[in-house]
Amino acid sequence: MVRGIYTAAMGMLVDWFKLDSTANNLANVDTVGYKKDIPTFSVYDERHVYSSLNRKVPIGNLPYSVVVDRVYLDATEGSLQYTGNPLDLAIVGNGYFSVQRNNEVLYTRAGNFKLDAEGFIVNADGFRLLDVNNEPIRFEDGFSIDAEGYVRDHAGNVVSRIAVYGFASQQNLKKVGYTLFLPTEESGPAVAVEDFRILPGYVELSNVNAVAELVKMVELQRHFEITQKIVLAEDEMLAKLFSQLATLR
Amino acid sequence: MMVSLYSAATGMWAQQYKLDTVSNNLANVDTTGYKKIRAEFQDLVYQYYKNAGTPTAQNSTIPTGIYVGHGVRLSATNRIFTIGNLEQTGNALDLAIAGDGFFQIQLQDGRIAYTRDGSFKIDSDGRVVTANGLTLVPNIVIPADAVSINVSPDGIVSAEMQDGTIENLGTITLVRFVNPAGLKAIGDNLYLQTASSGDPIEGTPNQDGFGAIQQGFLEKSNVDVVKEMVDMIIAQRAYELNARTIQTADDMLRTVSTLKR
């Protein structure tokens, strides 16, 4: 009926979406290997505005409303924390571990690995860590992992090598939850990288910056309140209009 | 619309759990052979409002899609089996394992439990038992007229008798597991094997990757007090952050409710 109400309402919905996204980031402030989400917004519909005298020459654009444009993940490295646990692995620089779920290969930077009962290196869900030949990595007994990803048995012989993959555009990886990622058309396929460094005994913490998220939350809340005022103002105008129309009659 | 409320609630729940593990670790900071526990988290599944690759009106495709996450979950409470500091006690029956391995202890119901707590005693029958009176396996009996007890690094127990002769009393064997983190803690510093720990592999101390036995030493807990205190601070602050999210969501809902007067 009155466009301003709808435009303001869309702005409020976008704020809600921002809050949902921020809430997820803050909930994962302590999740190993978590990468934060950044939603972006765009003008949904723009119309040319014409002078009332000359309907042919546009005098500017009027945005009708705002919508969530897309969400991308911020792939910057989280800080590293020393744990001393030999199965905690952190990748310095770009790169992802590959783990196997059924017949599917997923990628992760959460390096808090464990052993399963058969001696395979697994993540918290039991998905096996893969080596450069796409085979699960197994330890019978006594082992070590070095910075190049070589896995050695207790006699010092190389058993296998942990595979590390990179992507052309990490920001476009698809999040599947459980700190796992899948490549998409836009991210490009997984490509084995060579110039990585693995730090055993460290984990990569979440890259969520609590202060920044908190500031974002305060900001969106205030914006939400302001937009609500606009809806109320539009409503008042309508009320006035109707009451005056009524007296005219 | 209420996604943020639930995400924040999962965050508060997760941090509460983290605090529970931290407090258990701190409570056991002085427990012989205690292994610390670490709470680990994962993000939950994502809801995709728009998938990447969806065509847009402008004759292009959305590069990344629109999605929102649903918070955090506890993925594991992982027991960390790094070795604690060895502390000298001088007591002949205090045994520490310098390296991999567990002592085997027979429970009252006959099952075998495993421990790294080597503070052994002698019961009235001369048997080597734990502080709770459970016997060590294989069982070692110390003769009443023994003057001193000697345990070698590879587990051979011998006693010097009153007449000066040395008597061999048996050998302490150790076991290890492919995945010690999969052991089930039953309290009293004891663990039981599970399907995820694998079967026990028995062996002689100081051989085949087993740790050597150090007589007169005890293994302290591997809890690092400073790290636990830092973890406690982080858990509390993360809890507050998530509480703040709930407050914000609540305020925004109140704002919505004033739209209609």
DSSP code, position B183: P
Residues 6+ apart with CB under 8 A from A154: A141, A142, A143, B209
Whole-structure pTM value: 0.86
Q: Quote the pLDDT of residue B10.
A: 95
Are A239 and A213 within one domain?
A: yes
Backbone angles phi, psi at A149, to 5 degrees: 90, 5
Are A69 and A170 within one domain?
A: no
d(CA B207, CA B171): 13
Are A167 and A199 within one domain?
A: yes
Are A201 and A83 within one domain?
A: yes
Q: Looking at A7-11, A19-23, A27-31, A76-80, which range is the least confident one?
A: A7-11
Are A135 and A232 within one domain?
A: no
Q: pLDDT higher for A41 or B191? A: B191
Are A100 and A185 within one domain?
A: yes
Q: Looking at A36-40, A55-59, A196-200, which range is the least confident one?
A: A55-59
d(CA B231, CA B44): 22
Q: What is the tens place of the pLDDT at every residue in A93-116? A: 889 999 999 989 999 999 999 888
Are A112 and A5 within one domain?
A: no
Give residue A16's domain range: 1-75+208-248
Strand partners, A175: A181
Neighbours of B233 (CB within 10 A): 11
Tokens of A79: 């800080």
Q: Quote the pLDDT of residue B248.
A: 95
Q: Quote the pLDDT of residue A7.
A: 86
* Chain B residues close to A23, C-beta within 8 Å: 3-5, 7-8, 11, 71, 242, 245, 249
Residue A197's pLDDT band, with cuts at 50, 70 and 90, is very high
Q: Which residue of B has its CA nearest to A141?
A: B178
A80 in contact with chain B, both atoms CB, cutoff 8 A = no
The torsion angle over the Cα atoms of residues A118, A124, A126 and A132, rounded to 10 degrees, is: -80
Residue A244's pLDDT band, with cuts at 50, 70 and 90, is confident
Q: Looking at A51-55, A120-124, A231-235, which range is the least confident one?
A: A51-55
Please indicate whether, in this complex, the C-beta atoms of A117 and B182 are within 8 angstroms of each other.
yes
Are A110 and A172 within one domain?
A: yes
Are A221 and A198 within one domain?
A: no
Neighbours of B123 (CB within 10 A): 14
Q: Which of B8, B43, B64 sits opposite A70 (nearest CB)?
A: B64
* Chain B residues close to A16, C-beta within 8 Å: 1, 4, 252
When pLDDT is averaged across residues A158-185 and rounded to a whole number, the result is 92
- Domains held by chain A: number: 2
Q: Quote the pLDDT of residue B111.
A: 93
Q: Quote the pLDDT of residue B102.
A: 95
When pLDDT is averaged across residues A20-34 and rounded to a whole number, the result is 95
Minimum distance, in Å, between the CA of residue B23 and any CA atom of chain A: 17
Q: Quote the pLDDT of residue A1.
A: 60
Q: Which residue of B has its CA nearest to A125?
A: B75
Q: Quote the pLDDT of residue A215.
A: 95
pLDDT tens-place values along chain B, 261 residues long: 589 999 999 999 999 999 999 999 999 999 999 999 999 999 998 988 877 666 666 666 666 678 899 999 999 888 998 889 999 998 999 999 998 899 999 999 999 999 999 999 999 999 999 999 999 988 999 998 889 999 999 999 999 998 889 999 999 999 998 888 889 999 889 999 998 888 899 999 998 889 999 999 999 999 999 999 999 999 999 999 999 999 999 999 999 988 876
Neighbours of A211 (CB within 10 A): 8
* Residue percentage of chain A with pLDDT more than 90: 53
Please indicate whether, in this complex, the C-beta atoms of B69 and A83 are within 8 angstroms of each other.
no
**Alpha-carbon separation of residue A153 from A97, A170, A193, B168, B175 (angstroms):** 20, 33, 24, 35, 19
Neighbours of B187 (CB within 10 A): 6
* Chain B residues close to A200, C-beta within 8 Å: none
Q: Quote the pLDDT of residue B97.
A: 94
A76 in contact with chain B, both atoms CB, cutoff 8 A = no
Query: Which of A:115-154 have CB within 8 Å of B?
Result: 115-119, 124-125, 139-142, 154
Are A104 and A177 within one domain?
A: yes
Are A93 and A166 within one domain?
A: yes
Note the helical H segments in chain A.
3-27, 210-248
Residues 6+ apart with CB under 8 A from A69: A39, A40, A41, A42, B66
Are A23 and A85 within one domain?
A: no
Q: Quote the pLDDT of residue A240.
A: 87
ipTM of this model? 0.83
